[in-house]
Structure 1
Amino acid sequence: MTVVEGTTAYDVASLRGDFPILGRRLAGDLPLVYLDSANTSQKPRQVIDAIADHYQHHNANVARAMHQLGAEASEAFELGRTKVASFIGAPSREEVIFTKNASEALNLVARVLGDAGRVGEGDEVVITEMEHHSNIVPWQQLTQRTGASLRWFGVTDEGRLDLDDIDGLITERTKIVSLTWVSNMLGTINPLDTIIAKAHAVGALVVVDASQAVPQIPVDVAALGADFVAFTGHKLVGPTGIGVLWGRYDLLAELPPFLGGGEMIETVTMGESTYAPPPARFEAGTPPIAQSVGLGAAVDYLSAIGMENIAAHEQAITAYALEAMQEIEGLTVIGPKEPVMRGGAISFTLEGVHPHDVSQLLDSRGVAVRAGHHCAKPAHLRFGVQSTTRASFYLYTTELEIDALVEALHHTKKYFGA
């Protein structure tokens, strides 16, 4: 990996050598053009090697074994937590809770806030129309359980949040505001500062789904001002099977457990149990040990490149793609068409061709994209489409890969006579 000192750029070609899968040849001896990083990112050797080394030399359960391997595994697991806390600017490592993914992190927040009586009949929870299903369904379930009401921000024709009625949506009845930082479908980067300030002014808590944000822009949760932030490891060059919930410690310490089991307790008798302080209170059972090791290696890798550099590359490659794709007749970008306050995911339709057919034709030419509703059906409904094709980029995406995408889209149009 080569970082160009003193600039906001890095050597993408050299960096790609860290990712073994990017050198793969597909059927027909086609080079892989991987444009599905919003779905899951590829992993560098540094992450793969860290996980393999843990299993080969240090594998044991944590907090249960007094032998040397147990001590090593416990130290490695907690070191992953320390690295993640530093990476996101958490004031304390005890504010970092490991889950199995962002969906579990968001479900955890919704469940324990309800169990703690933070939301009741007559209260309101506010979300947005552009949310991933993981940030819709848990709040639907919470409001159904408690008798609260669910409300949401709409989306403009340009794919931005419609803030015109912010004073009518966030009121003294609002207890929770939960929204995505960067839309996984539209690519929109939302104005969190405005919404957080408004929510806190009425005493509401703010939950942020940062699954698409943490991989591609610098994050400082202390400066952000939200109360909870959730994200997943596999989108930021880390392993699958691990997510993160960051929460203000004073709030976490007041909330009840999410799951019961080993290691989340202080004492257990047949009559009652008392619970450990955070983060252990929310990490019942054997945690994602090797995954924590891998996630620690992932944030080390990203930090060495510099998140400012990654954000600059993401903006540049997205601008290049938007310009190139909008020259294709019949292609419509769903979401912001300018690379301003925008992440590296572009959802689009191609006139006369179903998104699944677009995806399959692109795949036949080695270009990997996603087709479907991207777990964002309400956002698709807002724009009057059942599904879209989505190309998404990351720190290893090159302009040549965008050129390959555009060429494959022209071929797809010709193939279908569109």
Structure 2
Amino acid sequence: MKHRGRHRRRRRGAALRAVLAGTALALTAAATVISTSQAGVAENPGALTPLTSPADTGRLRLQEHLVPARSLDRLAAAMGRPVGVDAVLRGADRRLREGDDCSSDDRASLPVAPAAARAYCWDPADTGGDWRPASVTTSGDASDDGTWGTHRVVLAGWTHSTTAGRPGERGLAKVAFVNADDPARLAYRWALLVVPVDGGRDYRGLASGVSGMVWHGNKLLVTTTAGGADALYVYDLDRIQRTTVDGPGIGRVPGGWSADGHGYVLPAVASYRFAAGRCSPAATPCPGALALDRGTAPDSLVAAEWTEPDGDRPARLWRYAFGTDPARPGPLATDGAGRVNAVEAYRTRAAGIRGVLSYRKAGADRPSWYVGRLPGTRDGHGGLWRQDTGRTRAVHCGADASDRCWARDAGSLSYWRQTGEVWSLSDRMLFTLPLADLDGSLD
């Protein structure tokens, strides 16, 4: 039985590779047509320019704001003892299908080049509405050995449309907790992101896009695009709360606690705001992508500024250092006044950045920055570039050397260093490929 199971998995893997190869060939032709009709959409962004002046780096400074422990304890006392990631995974009630079982529309959203090694489509009940995936992080970020407890875990952040669906859920954010122990049988369960209010007597939904997300230790950091000065929200994965009412309400409702039909909520434990005020195109950057870099000492959070893909305004890339005290509610390194300073910053001419990674190869004297971008039309396949202060490389495909080769409406990037894989998302699928394949396409 074991041998037959292995053969079935091999056949499924071979079928997926064949499907993805065929999809890549078809999309290569499509990329040629797209790039011919939209020449110049993704021009070479050039090398990175270091930002070192206080006027530039000062705009990246954050101020930490902690949710009082008494508020979190009051909420836990009312809702019941918090649970951890294992409890959510045990209740996984949805399946991700492997690539060869997904629709042609799903597969058409995958990268043209390099091809995905493994790809998965979500339960149709989750993709047929107004929720869309945008960010991903894994237990490869969270821990040194790449597991959380005994599990390999992928977290995917989703955002609800602000223009459709029930008014009460517009703009909300949720996280899919994916059990990735068996690559052939991924299962997941939802948790809604919320913010405690009224001293922990209630909570509200986090009304924000989560285009960037990083799991570090027991903390989950997400971007916020609520239009204020907040840059990041922080969640404690040891403080997941169960809901007791399956209804459309959010927070305390007659009979208990509700979260728009979700079985779990994650209450925020901290936030970071830009000291200079709300983000704006001319001054403080709006963070659009996040990733973890474990190649620095200490580990660092890397961020990319969101700019319109159709514009010509340069974007900024920067990093903050993580603190070394795992007991602190705020995971980033702060000074005595709770301020967080950027430890490195650059300017890039890339626009519409949706994914970012920083990684230094063995023997290299500096890290490379990978940026995944939306196309200028904000529709279709985007591009992926690797930049440093000396040069730039792009993935190319198609007879006319088109650089629109990356996933359709691509999301964030996450490097699982224990396996050498990069995880990302399209608007329809979750996928992974070796970093070596990505570098091979760039080189």
TM-score by length of 1: 0.28
Q: Which has the higher strand share?
A: 2
TM-score by length of 2: 0.27
User: Which structure has the larger Rg?
Assistant: 1
Q: Which has the higher helix share?
A: 1
